[in-house]
Chains A and B, each alone.
Chain A
Amino acid sequence: MLTNNNKIYHRKKIMVLTIACVVMFLLLFGRLIYLMVWRADYYSQLATDLHERERSIKAARGRILDRNGTVLADNKTVCTISVIHNQIENEEEVIRVLCKELDLSEEYVRKRVEKYSSMERIKSNVDKAVGDKIREYDLAGVKVDEDYKRYYPYGELASKVLGFTGGDNQGIIGLEVVYEDYLAGEAGKILTVTDARGVEVEEAGERRREPVAGNDLYISLDRNIQTYATQLAEQAMATKEADSVSIIVMNPNNGEIYACVNVPEFDLDNPYELPEGTSDTLTAEEKQDALNRMWRNACINDTYEPGSVFKIITAAAGLEEGVVTPSSTFSCPGFIVVDDRKIRCHKVAGHGSEDFVQATMNSCNPVFITVGLRLGVDNYYKYFEQFGLKTKTGIDLPGEAGTIMHKKEDMGNVELATVSFGQSFQITAMQMITTAASIINGGNRVTPHFGLKAVDESGEVVESFTYPVQEGIVSEETSATMRSILEMVVSEGSGKNGKVEGYRVGGKTATSQTLPRGSGRYIASFIGFAPADDPQVIAIAIINNPQGVYYGGQVAAPVIRQLFENILPYLGIKEYNQ
């Protein structure tokens, strides 16, 4: 029994103990109020961030259309079929249906259906029709997600210009990369609530942010010209058993490119498939190298020695500087001695006495060396730079190669002499045609380009692309002289195979031996423009390592002639006698 005396202090102590406990509880209670009222928003937000999983909805990528509105790159809806293990009710049924509809082995499907994971992908890039059919079965645990896949209606057409996209619909090469920001659009989001393992909590619903489709890109390419140029290039490659053929067709007045062909092209819908005949035993690295080679746009990514076509530049510089006039007379003995070096003309017997126009028609090396030497290293270098040859063209394609040229201080007369007729330095084909275009168009250095405008979903123009033009790189007078000289080259000179019935065509041929010299490999090329008095279109054909006859005038000029025969009427350029 508690004695009364004891009782009092024990009771008091028990009371103190109890009250102390109550006080502690009240303090904790205060702490709870702080956490659940004042800090509620903060912790709720953190918890929501933790619980919500973001699933992005791909935005439809903008299309690429040619100058006439023909769609060159489009999207098709494809489906991704996946299964969620936890939600499957009838495993056998799911396996049976998926095997049947997707044409997959039972073993493959069963392994994935029975795998205990949050979401298992069965097959992606499934046709929408098949996806819809699977959706109609309404199987629990089978998810059909729609997705966009890039699709190129014309397959190989302009493959190295358009480029293709990767798994996330991002541009990998070509225009798809350069205009990525316009084409990509903005991905949407689905926010779903999941448990800690990432399994969706069905009843929690979801929040969405709709994707914004990318802009359509209109480019200067003309599908018809591109198609025809591709056919010609393939033909030339086949008949001449060449390694490759490139053709560029451009508007010389503004730099818009109508066609840019590099055969062999590759299939844009299967860009990772190497051409037939490639060894199957490549290492991953070798395979990547082979792919990169296949994807290269030779007109822009590779440089070459332009050869005699480059005499256009030497002539323009000489005329502009006044060291030569069309009527200046020269004599060609078949060679010329520069310092201690004897440089031969392609005609061993020599062209004899000729004026400058005739020398150009004959593509006479000693005459152009003479003109180059008259200009001198300083002047020649000045014009080289003034014509824009030292800088890149600024074309809207990735990986443009720069010019490989002697340093001015290393240039002696021998180097100057070789440069004068287009050897011992390298430029890209795009650089060559752009410079030629700028000389014959009245002296305005244009920027070659494809992109014209970006248009949004509703057809509104988001941006019209403009490109710099450098005016007065040669005088209008020099430009006119060049046009008439080059017209003479085609009408009566070495380029007469480029002649088109009913049209005034100007042009220049070239046959350059590739390095190392004496290998027997040549590059035959021809640059042509029409009408010669008022150029509306300029084109270059480059045939790489043709077999048999390899002269530019005989191999490349006919390609441009056939091209012009078709596209000049198509472009609405009237015959001169009409």
Chain B
Amino acid sequence: MTTRTIRKSGIRKKKKEQSEYFFDYSLLFIVLFLLGFGLIMIYSASSYEAYTEFGDAAYYLKKQAVAIVVGMAAMIVVANIPYHFWERFAVLGYVVSVILILLVKTPLGIEANGARRWIRIPGIGFQVQPAEVAKLCMILFLAVMVCKMGKSVRTMKGFFLMMAIPLPIVLLIWQVTNNMSSAIIVMAIAILMVFVASPDYKKFVIAGVGVVAAAALLVFYVINSDGSGNFRFARIRVWLDPESDAQGVGFQTLQGLYAIGSGGIWGKGLGQSMQKLNFLPEAQNDMIFSIICEELGLFGAIAIIVMFIMLIWRMMIIANNAPDLFGAMLVVGVIGHIAVQAILNIAVVTGSIPNTGISLPFISYGGSSVMFLLIEIGLVLSVARRIQLKEL
């Protein structure tokens, strides 16, 4: 198979009609840009803490770079394998996800920052977060299911079946690894995929309104309940007024807001963040966006948001032109994953929603996350390569 390339937009490609297949370099470059930018920001955000903690300013940078190299290799492999190859592993993936999540409770599980969410793969000392595996496997499994079910997706029964598929995984992630944010993301990916698979709008609009109403009701309930109760209630209360518990639950949110606010329009300049000097917890991880805001200002933040919009737009074009429904659904799943995670992360960092640990795709520090994201990009590229240009 020869690959000839077109970098221009889809419309332009139509006119050229010079190559048989399509390789989406635009997508690749956007991803590479985000990864490179992420590395710079991880170094900037973490070097101080890394130096004081480990005596090596590049400690986090190096670990992330290794994960990216491994992830890129995996991406290239996956991009070169026709994506239908993975169809047969759908059920296996689902089962493996469940097993990996349960393994967290065994001695293989690793506890960090007070949560047991990682497992160590014996032999190579490599850590993996089962929730990241589950996200990828869920995309694959649902894509296969959508194709298998065909038109029965449109029935009520099909709809509920599709919605029921991710629930065991979601509940396991939530309850076993105590990781509500990953559970929400997996559920959101599933809902978005079912949304695309089903021609109906009404159900989703009703469900959407229902969720919003339930959320509003919960917030109302939390405001009127007394101060005690579980920590998620506290998070909601603090979200409404971060300064009410500035040293406790609201600490991270408030420190993030200090960083964002003090960045202003132009930012303090790369490397000039004050908040990264141990003030802001998880500066290189979940809260990296606030350091970007502080150092690069509103314009740096816009650049990142624009890059994500472009990334999603590119993937939309691939999904729309995918050679078959399976390919399209795979890409939709990846869109859902990246979009939901990026939107929720920025929403958390800006204090728009209650604080919960969600990383910013490609940019936040986190080996498992970036590796599985790159594998997903590999899948998207694989789908893109199957686009026959004459089809367009």
Contacts and interface: CB of A to CB of B under 8 A. Distances in A.
A40 B305 contact: no
Given A21-B335, A36-B298, A28 B323 contact: no
Interface string A14-52: 110110011011001101110111011011101110110
B248 to A, nearest CB: 16
A499 B279 CA distance: 79
Contacts of B174: none
A225 B225 CA distance: 77
B335 A32 contact: no
B322 A2 contact: yes
B293 interface: yes
Interface string B312-342: 1100100110111100100010011001001
A2 B319 contact: no
Contacts of A2: 322-325, 328
A86 to B, nearest CB: 8
A35 B48 contact: no
A18 B277 contact: no
A37 B332 CA distance: 35
Interface string B244-281: 00000000000001111111110000000011011100
B335 A44 contact: no
A197 interface: yes
B211 interface: no
Interface stretch (B23-31, B78-86, B345-353): B345-353
Contacts of B313: 18, 22
B278 A197 contact: yes
Contact of A21 (B258, B301, B312): B312
A51 B265 CA distance: 20
A115 interface: no
A63 B293 CA distance: 53
B48 A195 contact: yes
A1 B324 contact: yes
B108 interface: no
Nearest to B261: A43
Interface stretch (A5-13, A105-113, A274-282, A367-375): A5-13
Nearest to A9: B199
Contact of A28 (B277, B298, B352): B352
Interface string B31-59: 00000000000000000100010000000
Contact of A10 (B196, B275, B347, B350): B196
A196 interface: yes
B261 A39 contact: yes
B160 interface: no
Interface string A186-201: 0000000111110001
A6 B325 contact: yes
Interface in B116-154: none
Contacts of A15: 316, 320
B343 A195 contact: no
A537 B276 CA distance: 72
B302 interface: yes
B74 interface: no
B80 to A, nearest CB: 22
Contacts of B354: none
Given A32-B260, A36-B301, A44-B264, A13 B316 contact: no
B309 interface: yes
A14 B293 contact: no
Contact of A193 (B274, B320, B325, B347): B274
Contacts of B220: none
A201 B276 CA distance: 12
A49 to B, nearest CB: 10
A15 B258 CA distance: 36
A17 B336 CA distance: 8
Contacts of A48: 262
Contacts of A17: 192, 195-196, 316, 332, 335-336
B316 A43 contact: no
A9 B201 CA distance: 11
A35 B199 CA distance: 39
Interface string A39-77: 110111011101100000000000000000000000000
B308 interface: yes
Contact of A47 (B265, B274, B309, B324): B274
B320 A36 contact: no
B278 A46 contact: no
A195 to B, nearest CB: 3
Given A13-B195, A17-B335, A33-B298, A28 B305 contact: yes
A204 B199 CA distance: 59
Contacts of A195: 48, 277-279
Given A14-B196, A32-B301, A47 B332 contact: no
A18 B265 contact: no
Contact of B263 (A36, A50, A204): A36
B205 to A, nearest CB: 11
A255 to B, nearest CB: 56
Contacts of B312: 18, 21-22
B373 to A, nearest CB: 16
A10 to B, nearest CB: 6
Contacts of A13: 195-196, 199
A341 B322 CA distance: 128
B297 interface: yes
A31 B352 contact: yes
A475 B277 CA distance: 79
B262 A40 contact: yes
A43 B301 CA distance: 17
Given A6-B325, A10-B325, A193-B274, A35 B257 contact: yes
Interface in B272-303: 274-275, 277-279, 293, 297-298, 301-302
A184 B277 CA distance: 37
Contacts of A21: 309, 312, 335, 339, 343
A31 B293 CA distance: 12
A25 B261 CA distance: 19
A204 B272 CA distance: 10
A463 B243 CA distance: 47
A36 B297 contact: yes
A51 B93 CA distance: 49
A43 B298 contact: no
A12 B347 CA distance: 27
Nearest to A15: B316
A40 B261 contact: yes
B202 to A, nearest CB: 13
21 contacts: A1-B323, A1-B325, A2-B325, A10-B196, A18-B316, A25-B346, A28-B305, A28-B343, A28-B347, A33-B298, A35-B293, A36-B261, A36-B264, A39-B257, A40-B262, A43-B262, A47-B275, A50-B258, A51-B279, A196-B278, A201-B274
The 5 A-B residue pairs whose C-beta atoms are closest, nearest first, are A43-B261, A195-B277, A196-B278, A47-B258, A18-B316
Interface of B: 48, 52, 192, 195-197, 199, 257-265, 274-275, 277-279, 293, 297-298, 301-302, 305, 308-309, 312-313, 316, 319-320, 322-325, 328, 332, 335-336, 339, 342-343, 346-347, 350-352
Given A17-B336, A47-B259, A51-B277, 6 more contacts: A18-B316, A28-B343, A36-B297, A47-B258, A194-B277, A201-B274
